Homo-oligomer: A and B are copies of this chain.
């Protein structure tokens, strides 16, 4: 692996670890808080577009980073859906 590839995969690693605490925090707090659905959909779209670019230029790091961020943003969207539902149920039972 040359230096360029090393930088790329190190970048992928750093990008991934900046997203993981957000997912963990959302899971702990059972809330996706300030993240709007609209914003999260743009993040999902952006990772899909970046994936297309990554495959187009055959860049492992771009593909890897965006595949991880895509999965994590889909997890956040799923949390948004299930936690909203839970809150609605608990409010209905008050």
Contacts and interface: CB of A to CB of B under 8 A. Distances in A.
Interface in A6-56: 7-8, 10-11, 14-15, 17-18, 21, 25, 33-34, 39, 42-43, 45-46, 49-50, 52-53, 56
A1 B62 CA distance: 20
A1 to B, nearest CB: 12
A28 B53 CA distance: 34
Interface residues of A, number: 28
Contacts of A56: 3-4, 7-8
B8 A57 contact: yes
Given A4-B56, A11-B49, 12 more contacts: A4-B53, A7-B49, A7-B52, A7-B53, A8-B50, A8-B53, A8-B56, A11-B46, A14-B46, A14-B49, A18-B39, A18-B46
